[in-house]
């Protein structure tokens, strides 16, 4: 299953991507986590120390030169099939696999922002990121989870159409719901019709009825165990609330699977 995670900044996209990746790997699937947010926090949320994070792809000016400026001319459709294995780091599982399950591998690829793009103009690095993202979404047999910056602009039409679904994350606030509905609309226009809404840090109450808000809706409660953990550690895995988190991840995946089959 290939999923993208989008929504306003600070609503919980990175945390939910980390939880989902860990749940999938413990359920026996190989997972590629793709950090496509310039804030670069997916690795830390999944328990890696700063010095264990992979180099952002956009900072690899050698690769940008080699693949995009191939033999002197611009190649906007570069060969990138070897890059995921070469650039990703393996991320340990923080909890036991589910009973009787042979756990999958969890790997992290960091795309990086365009501002720190070395070698040539930012559009060259952008071409490499786009090609790599498209390759992962279209050609990989494994699960691919893309932690996006706020919107879905990164995906592009071709890539979006090959994603199985989008998880739109919102806080229980009107401004965040408005961003979520905007993301839902943009994703739909890109051809990404399988959408779920996750209202994170939910404390009760009904959700507003906004046009384009995904119809399939879930909530994730406010997690005191996570608040306490974040005081000393960026890792969001292996919390006192893990059983509850796992149950939510399973519900979200089942719902998206149903839509994919429909």
Ligand X SMILES: Nc1ncnc2c1ncn2[C@@H]1O[C@H](COP(=O)(O)OP(=O)(O)O)[C@@H](O)[C@H]1O
Residue numbers at the binding site for Mg ion (CB under 5 A): 13-14, 37
* x/- track of binding to ligand X for residues 120-159 (CB under 6 A): ----------------------------------------
- The beta-strand segments (E) located in 178-239 are 195-202, 216-221
Write out the binding residues for ligand X, residues 164-223 only, by CB under 6 A.
200-201, 220, 222-223
Residue with smaller CB distance to ligand X, 13 or 107: 13
Shortest separation between residue 88's beta carbon and ligand X, angstroms = 20
Using CB under 6 A, count the residues that bind ligand X: 17
Q: Are 6 and 187 contacting, i.e. CB atoms less than 8 angstroms apart?
A: yes
How many Å apart are CA 81 and CA 72, to the nearest integer? 21
* x/- track of binding to ligand X for residues 19-58 (CB under 6 A): ----------------------x-----------------
Decide which of ligand X, Mg ion, none touches 33; Cβ closer than 5 to 8 Å per partner kind: none
Shortest separation between residue 112's beta carbon and Mg ion, angstroms = 14
| Residue 198, phi-psi category: left (phi > 0), alpha (psi -120 to 50), beta (remainder) | beta
How many Å apart are CA 71 and CA 216, to the nearest integer? 49
Cα dist from 27 to 52, 71, 88, 94, 115, whole Å = 25, 44, 21, 13, 37
Shortest separation between residue 174's beta carbon and ligand X, angstroms = 17
Decide which of Mg ion, ligand X, none touches 28; Cβ closer than 5 to 8 Å per partner kind: none
Residue with smaller CB distance to ligand X, 15 or 194: 15
**What is the greatest pairwise CA distance in the chain?**
60
How many Å apart are CA 119 and CA 115, to the nearest integer? 12
4 binds ligand X (CB under 6 A): no
Decide which of ligand X, Mg ion, none touches 230; Cβ closer than 5 to 8 Å per partner kind: ligand X
Residue with smaller CB distance to Mg ion, 40 or 80: 40
Shortest separation between residue 124's beta carbon and Mg ion, angstroms = 25
Decide which of Mg ion, ligand X, none touches 226; Cβ closer than 5 to 8 Å per partner kind: ligand X
Q: Are 258 and 29 contacting, i.e. CB atoms less than 8 angstroms apart?
A: no
Decide which of ligand X, Mg ion, none touches 223; Cβ closer than 5 to 8 Å per partner kind: ligand X
SS percent in the chain: helix, strand, coil, step 5: 40, 15, 45
How many Å apart are CA 15 and CA 21, to the nearest integer? 10
**Residue 206 burial (C-beta neighbours within 10 Å; 0-12, 13-18, 19+):** exposed
Size of the chain in residues: 262
Residues near ligand X (CB under 6 A): 9-15, 41, 200-201, 220, 222-223, 226-227, 230, 236
């Amino acid at each position: 299953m290939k999923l993208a995670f989008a929504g306003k900044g600070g609503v919980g996209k990175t945390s939910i991507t980390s939880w989902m990746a860990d749940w999938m790997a413990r359920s026996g699937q190989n997972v590629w986590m793709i950090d496509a947010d310039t804030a670069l926090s997916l690795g830390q949320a999944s328990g890696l120390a700063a010095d264990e994070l992979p180099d952002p792809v956009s900072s690899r000016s050698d690769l940008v030169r080699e693949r995009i400026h191939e033999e002197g001319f611009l190649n906007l459709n570069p060969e990138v099939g070897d890059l995921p294995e070469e650039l990703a780091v393996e991320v340990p599982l923080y909890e036991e696999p589910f009973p009787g399950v042979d756990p999958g591998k969890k790997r992290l690829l960091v795309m990086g922002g365009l501002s720190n793009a070395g070698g040539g103009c930012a559009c060259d690095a952008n071409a490499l990121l786009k090609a790599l993202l498209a390759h992962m979404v279209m050609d990989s047999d494994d699960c691919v989870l893309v932690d996006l910056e706020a919107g879905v602009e990164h995906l592009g039409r071709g890539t979006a159409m090959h994603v199985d679904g989008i998880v739109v994350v919102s806080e229980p606030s009107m401004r965040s719901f408005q961003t979520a509905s905007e993301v839902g609309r943009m994703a739909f226009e890109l051809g990404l019709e399988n959408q779920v809404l996750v209202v994170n840090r939910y404390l009760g109450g009904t959700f507003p009825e906004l046009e384009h808000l995904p119809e399939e809706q879930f909530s994730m409660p406010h997690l005191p165990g996570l608040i306490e953990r974040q005081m000393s550690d960026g890792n969001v895995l292996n919390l006192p609330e893990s059983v509850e988190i796992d149950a939510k991840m399973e519900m979200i995946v089942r719902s998206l699977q149903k839509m994919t089959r429909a």
